[in-house]
Structure 1
């Protein structure tokens, strides 16, 4: 009996007409070269070589410090993204730890409101699990650039079929050839819905 195909989604942030309402105020002090929250060297072992890659958090010199402006937003959401990394609540962190144990990296942040009041506890995080050559190119509308990057169509919705022998039972993951994008299965999406996770969005990629 043929097993039921798994539905997958691209993970993103829900748009807000009022903006995010948050600012990273110590960007220049996080790394010695002022590189912000992203790794100074995206691929220290060579392009597309695992296990290192641009999705891994650097060793910051101090915790990332975020300031929130209540006039622009209601306050921190459970899930936001910047530069490919998450800014998440403890509730979202619990979801990731339970559904993707060992596949994430988290660091605590300093959070304040613009008036100096304490803001909710937040973490900067990332999905570190990344698969190479995990897309079935014959069953997907994805092409590969001469640099080895996946190229997705701009005038039609993406159709991506993953190779089950590579992705296996992973609930949330990245692709080496498209490192900024994050993908998840229906179980991860359902859990976020059940826990009323705010700020997260899901775009279906399997047809």
Structure 2
């Protein structure tokens, strides 16, 4: 992932509350395992309506989504986050997120920011009035800025560290590849092991 320090982008508004992950990306697209090429599936059912906000030419290139409350509820479908990212979004602002969606977003490089009701209402009104309206998000100071207005936000410190450094949990593990290799090399042969080279996992145990 790319490090996330600050981001400034045009904002768009989704005025629908309790949007669940099946609405963000319908179940029929859940078999896809790539993080890329999912933008066509994003809100696939709702985009059949030509007036749906994600069909608006005025919002092409927007990178900040201001969502109504309880965004991302429902199943733990990680493709929902991938689809938002593939569409070009970097930040989602709401008063509340589904817990699993919120964790998935932060782990995949999509900054999900929780702000108070009055802040989100103000940002929604301004973004709807002006498609060129921009929002800035600074993860180094944990602050959202729009014009002269500023709002602080909180974020899990480990998630913040991962985003600032552009790391996911696999990349963090791979930082210790040498230590893991040393451990595996010195690991007693009698302990259970998983065969290398693919195939079904099978525990093998010998004698001391």
TM normalised by structure 2 equals 0.23
For the pair shown, the structure with the greater C-alpha radius of gyration is 2
Q: Choose between structure 1 and 2: higher helix proportion.
A: 2
Whose strand proportion is higher, 1 or 2? 1
Higher relative contact order (CA 8 A, sep 6+): 1
- TM-score when scaled to structure 1? 0.23
